[in-house]
């Protein structure tokens, strides 16, 4: 048995959750925040049999989309003044970790 941690953008959270539920997978959702953009994410914890891990990952991939976004950036040009200009970054997609489970109980 495996525990799958999937960190997805909040924009994709509902779609990922619906797909997992539709295909018979139960997930625990945790609110989380990314360190770089300080943007909201959802971390899913999904327990699955070894032979179902690839199916879970495919469900997550199918509903987690990368997108471009402009974020403010400040630069100091050697003076005490700062200039703010937007920088394009890639956001979204999913970060997935799969770990072994020694014991699982649902009571």
Those residues whose C-beta lies under 8 Å from the C-beta of residue 50, and which sit 6 or more positions away, are 1, 2
Q: How many domains does the chain have?
A: 1
Burial of 102 (0-12, 13-18, 19+ CB in 10 A): exposed
Mean pLDDT of all residues in 52-76: 84
Q: Residue 52: what pLDDT?
A: 98
Q: Residue 77: what pLDDT?
A: 53
Q: Does residue 105 form part of some domain?
A: no
pTM check: above 0.95: no
Q: Does residue 28 form part of some domain?
A: yes
Mean pLDDT of all residues in 77-82: 57
Q: Does residue 107 form part of some domain?
A: no
CATH code, 85: 3.30.70.120
Q: What is the maximum alpha-carbon separation in the chain?
A: 62
Lowest mean pLDDT among 4-18, 38-52, 84-98: 84-98
Q: Which residues span the domain enclosing 75?
A: 2-100
Beta bridge partners of 67: 91
Q: Does residue 106 form part of some domain?
A: no
């Amino acid at each position: 048995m495996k525990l799958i941690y999937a960190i997805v953008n909040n924009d994709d959270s509902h779609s990922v959750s619906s797909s997992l539920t539709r295909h018979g997978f139960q997930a625990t959702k945790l609110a989380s925040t990314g360190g770089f953009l300080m943007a909201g994410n959802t971390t899913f914890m999904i327990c699955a049999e070894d032979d179902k891990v690839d199916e879970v990952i495919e469900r997550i991939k199918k509903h987690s989309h990368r997108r471009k976004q402009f974020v403010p950036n400040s630069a100091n040009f050697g003076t005490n003044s700062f200039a703010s200009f937007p920088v394009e970054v890639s956001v979204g997609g999913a970060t997935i970790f799969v770990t072994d489970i020694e014991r699982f109980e649902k009571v």
